[in-house]
A and B are shown apart, each in its own frame.
Chain A
Amino acid sequence: MDRVKRQLLRQAVADNLDTIRGLPPRSLRPTRRFAKLFLRRAPLVIIPLMLASFAFLSSTGVPSTRKAAAIAPPPAARHVEASIATSMAPMLMTDTLEPVSASAFPLSVRRVVLDAGHGGSDPGASSISNVSEKEITLDIQKRLGALLRQNGFEVIATRDNDRLIPLRERARLANGSHSDIFVSIHVNSIPHPDNHGVETYYLGPTNDPTLTKLAATENLTSGYALADLRKLLDGVYADVRRDESQRLASAVQLQLFSGLRGVDPGLENWGVKRAPFIVLVATEMPAILAEVGCLSNEREAEMLRSGTYRQQIAQALFHGIHAYASANDAPPKKGT
């Protein structure tokens, strides 16, 4: 036991020293995340560049001819080199000048974490007719998951039944699954029952007291006060995730509003916003939180009871994710 105690003490002291030095917890250390992001994305740039260089050299033939003359390889080797150059040159010329789809490489947006908000003893928002947010988000998540799988995405769900998963646990699951993006699905409830709309959040500071209150409500099961996040947030706002998350949020919000406005003409576009939700803070990949409807509006609450409308929401979310993924798959333009 003494050996265990000594080890525990050493680790406790090391943890305190990390705090004194201002180091974030290991799961939030940016160096590792940047390295991971770089390792995952680098081949997307390096492989096409290598192919392009190879094609250029093959098509001009100058450097390779000079090299061949200078080194004067044996006839058998020269024959092999010549036959490779002859057989590859036309193919490389064609393939590198045409767009190379990143879908050829399993490196772009392929794995998506879907997070159905609330669950278990935490019902989230409720309508007058007693429909709870946790039921709606789970159903939409299942529908969206099916759509994504049908289209070749891998889907990880933070919950697939009615149970309470703490917010940090959701983030930990997402981080452990090495997924490419994180989409949290929620349903709003606002003090003005006549209004209803859709909005999508990504991680960022906000001075809006309403959003601060909303984030505090959604963060309730995390165990932290909102004020506790402020300093942590300063460190991650500059993260590369922020830009990616904003792009993902924009793509999803556009599809959510345009996809649902046709069904519900009264729907308002509340836009893309920034707020410090814990699931967005602690996840290591581009992450958004979509408020796909408003349970405080009686008419919309009725619509949200219907499977057809939930399917339409799932489809709108799918189109948004697909648009973001497709943009990510697009190769650099010629000459860049």
Chain B
Amino acid sequence: MANDSEILPEILHVGIDLGTSRSAISASNGERFVVDSFVGWPADMVAKKVLKRDVLIGHEAVANRTMLDLHRPLERGLLKEGSDKDVEAVRELLKHLLRLVGVSSNGRTDASNVRAVVGVPAASLRTNKQYLRNSMKGIVDSLMIVSEPFAVAYGLNALLHTMIIDIGAGTTDFCVMKGRYPGEEDQRTLTVAGDSLDAQLLKLIEERYPQANVTVFMVREWKEKHSFVGEAPKRVLVTAPVKGVPTELDITNEMRAACETLVPPTVETMLDLLSRVEPEFQERVRNNIILSGGGGLIRNLSETLENALKQVGGGKVTHMPDPVFVGSDGGLALALDAPDSDWEKLTA
């Protein structure tokens, strides 16, 4: 039997899509997980006694939110600055993700063996990245931070004459891949995204059904099941308490109106970025537009974008059927491809 000390430490490569709403991790040991980006601490001694935990993360945190000091540590895809609690929350979230894929302080894979690639919004400032880097000290050994749509493009091998539109909760990121590392001129970030859609939908439902008791959590769930633009595939009927009585509400028009708030800025930015591609490559990019992120699942969105492309000669928009791990898988591909010599320079 081999002595434990003779076993070489196992290097674990991970790709992390640190999202405002959900965070996903893909690891080189084959594990993949997604969690809601919520972290909560018991609000008082009673809550702690009931929950029997010091900190709750993800769906558990959302489910027990009434007993928690609940934090969503990312805002528009970026780590909030100025609140120690939010920094602590993001560290807890990252540690939780790593624990899920087998990283533990007393196991064969601990923080000193982890090389991570983390995706951030396309137009993040240097300071955002530095701040994230500081927050990850001690959690991983080496860290590479890349723009989220770049990670998506890398994972899909879509590195040349491609446009990635990644609609997340906090931001919608655009990136034109030209076979080089995307610079500022190739990328855009809009704050019109899933969260702003939720806020709009909640407002419209409250306007139509002022007596209904609806929360943003309910609205988010409805959106994820029924979102669409253009022609409604079927009536959107949901149940919410009205004066305490569960009541069926028809929110078809509200759902359409809220989802369609995404369309004009997305079309405008897509066409503007296209117009900046060298003329001889524009047609190729137009025919290689990839829609990723949760927003990519909005029904008819890719067709609506294709309709908008007709004014510039037509094009093809493909949406990822399973966008949850597209970013983290891309990050993992980057992590695995980077040579040891590069990782040594990127110590966290």
The smallest beta-carbon distance between A158 and chain B, in angstroms, is: 12
Which residues from 297 to 327 on chain B have a C-beta closer than 8 Å to any C-beta of chain A?
none
User: Which one, A7, A14, A24, A121, contacts B264 given CB within 8 A?
Assistant: A121
Closest chain B residue to A225, Cβ basis: B75
Report whether A172 and B334 are in contact in the complex, using a CB–CB cutoff of 8 Å. Answer: no
The residues of B that contact A164 with a CB separation of less than 8 Å are: 264-265, 268-269
B231 within 8 A of A: no
A269 within 8 A of B: no
Q: Which of the candidate stretches B177-185, B204-212, B251-259, B283-291 sits at the interface with the other chain?
A: B177-185
Q: Are A13 and B342 interface neighbours, CB within 8 A? A: yes
Interface contact A12-B146, CB-CB below 8 Å: yes
Q: Which B residues touch A7, using CB under 8 A?
A: 179-181
- Interface residues on chain B, number (Cβ under 8 Å): 48
In the bound assembly, the distance between CA atoms of A13 and B143 in angstroms comes to 10
A24 and B130 alpha carbons, distance in the complex (Å): 11
Residues on the A chain within 8 Å of B129, using CB: 16, 19
Q: Is B184's CB under 8 angstroms from A20's CB?
A: no
Docked complex: B170-214 residues within 8 A CB-CB of A: 171, 179-181, 184-185, 188-192
The answer to whether the Cβ of A8 comes within 8 Å of any Cβ in the partner chain is: yes
Residues from chain A with a CB closer than 8 A to the CB of B189 are: 166, 222-223
Per-residue B-contact encoding for A109-122, CB less than 8 Å = 1, 0 else = 00000000000111
A9 and B80 contacting across the interface, CB-CB below 8 Å:
no
Q: In chain B, residues 122-168, which have Cβ atoms closer than 8 Å to a Cβ of chain A?
A: 123-131, 133, 143-146, 150, 154, 157, 159-160
> Size band of the A side of the interface?
35 or more
Q: Is A231 a contact of B269 with CB atoms below 8 Å?
A: no
A8 to B129, CA, bound (A): 19
Inter-chain contact A25/B184, CB cutoff 8 Å: yes
Complex partner residue of A15 from B123, B181, B269, CB under 8 angstroms: B181
Report whether B127 and A231 are in contact in the complex, using a CB–CB cutoff of 8 Å. yes
Q: Would you give the shortest CB distance from B269 to chain A, in whole angstroms?
A: 7
Assess A9 versus B159: contact at CB under 8 Å? Given A19-B145, A22-B130, A166-B269: no
Contact flag A5-B159 (CB < 8 Å), given A19-B145, A25-B126: yes
Which of the residues A11, A222, A225 comes within 8 Å of B180, measured between beta carbons?
A: A11
CB distance from A282 to the nearest CB of B (A): 9
Q: Which of B42-97 contact A (CB under 8 A)?
A: 75-76, 78, 80-82
Q: Does B6 contact A (CB under 8 A)?
A: no
Is A243 at the interface (CB under 8 A from chain B)?
Answer: no
Does A168 touch B at the CB level, under 8 Å?
A: yes
List the B side residues contacting A107 at CB < 8 Å: none
Chain A residues near B125: list those with CB within 8 A: 25, 224, 228-229, 232
A65 interface residue, CB < 8 Å from B? no
Q: Which of B130, B171, B180, B272 contacts A223 (CB 8 A)?
A: B171
Q: Does A221 lie at the interface of the complex (its beta carbon under 8 Å from any beta carbon of B)?
A: yes
Interface centre among B125, B159, B191, B264 (most CB of A within 10 A): B125
